[in-house]
Chains A and B, each alone.
Chain A
């Protein structure tokens, strides 16, 4: 079972935060096909949000084909989003953590690291587009 975190200051609507967190949990393997999502009441009691917000998020996930609501039982994962298997994320997260350690050791602060990641992503994307 996963737990949600709602940040009302993030600018992302709370229902979308739930959708994204379920998506993330599926990608990294915290959730798998057949797993049950917390019930609406459990989510409401733990993060103090509107039950309609949870329902809206679950409907959105159902429409996208990732979960299925079984009346009177709960909401269950039916499919993982396309993309590499969960193991790939874990391996990449580990090597990224090693890289971050190296960057910190070299004296980069968080802001510089984020800047470096962002600029690398952009330059890589531009290069990819140029080649295509």
Chain B
């Protein structure tokens, strides 16, 4: 329906990225693309490789196989790369006894590009005291200080690992608004992991869904939602639907069949009631499917 004028350039790309820790595969053949200027949600259950992927993209961890590119460069810890790529780890990296002002001053020493004035006015505009040890601030205020520091070096890509998980609903909303405003200021791509789909839906326009260490979905959220439908109808054989479309989830009761499908062509059978799918429903369906496939593989492995 929408005609795209130009395909946005890609800010983050991975190809067959794999991370192996001894016996455990943390990430398996992960190929994703995140367009420039988007706010992308990295979604998945715990232990599906979200943190691993973010750490590789931030240059903090080496992939076992495959390639990753952020702004056209392989992630490293060298200053030129770090000047453009910000990373905010799950446990907020602040010194509890230092004030927000101290942190801003320290950042000015450690970074080539650093906007102290913007950082201070940002903290002040949020009514956060600049001269109190950050250990005395609330969780939401600390998260805002950390975000301010991550933005102060004016990165072009910002990687956030579960930034809102520990925050109360109001602080969560404020953090997400702040992130949106930073993106509105221009030339910033954000990839943030979370399992709180409702928060993400507001601010994200793109999604990467990881399950079972693999990407299950990657694309613009509006497009992904439009490509999936829920079909409800009397109980029946679903092989016709399965031939024409991809069935992500099927539920059957004595009388009724409910399918969540990825639409691959026209839906012709009028006896199905067709519904739009909500983001949370879509995410849960793919997570459920991946868990089933993983169980099936383990059973096969045990049998073989």
Contacts and interface: CB of A to CB of B under 8 A. Distances in A.
Contact of B184 (A8, A44, A46): A44
Contact of B203 (A11, A40, A41, A50): A50
A86 B225 CA distance: 35
Q: Which of B37, B38, B202, B279 has the most CB of A within 10 A?
A: B202
A51 interface: yes
Interface in B154-176: 173-174, 176
A46 B202 contact: no
Contact of A50 (B39, B174, B198, B279): B39
A51 B184 contact: yes
A14 B205 CA distance: 10
B177 A48 contact: yes
A3 interface: no
Contact of A53 (B177, B205, B225): B205
Interface in A44-60: 44-53
A9 B173 CA distance: 16
Q: Which of A8, A14, A50 has the most CB of B within 10 A?
A: A50
A13 B225 contact: yes
Contact of A45 (B181, B202, B276): B181
Interface string B193-205: 0000010011111
B183 A46 contact: no
Interface residues of B, number: 23
B184 A49 contact: no
Given A45-B180, A51-B184, A11 B202 contact: no
A51 B38 CA distance: 9
Contact of B38 (A8, A45, A52): A52
Interface of A is mostly: helix
Interface in B52-103: none
A33 B30 CA distance: 51
Interface footprint category on A: 10 to 19
Contacts of A49: 180, 202-203
A11 B184 contact: no
B180 A44 contact: yes
A118 to B, nearest CB: 19
A28 interface: no
A51 B202 contact: no
B180 A50 contact: yes
Contacts of A15: 222
B225 A48 contact: no
Interface in A20-46: 40-41, 44-46
Q: Which of A11, A13, A41, A49 has the most CB of B within 10 A?
A: A49
A51 B276 contact: no
A6 interface: yes
B176 to A, nearest CB: 5
A9 B126 CA distance: 28
12 contacts: A8-B198, A9-B278, A14-B202, A41-B184, A44-B180, A45-B180, A49-B180, A49-B202, A50-B203, A52-B39, A52-B183, A53-B205
Given A8-B279, A41-B181, A49-B202, 12 more contacts: A8-B201, A9-B278, A11-B278, A13-B225, A40-B184, A44-B180, A44-B183, A48-B203, A49-B180, A50-B183, A50-B205, A52-B205
Interface of B: 37-39, 173-174, 176-177, 180-181, 183-185, 198, 201-205, 222, 225, 276, 278-279
Interface of A: 6, 8-9, 11, 13-15, 40-41, 44-53
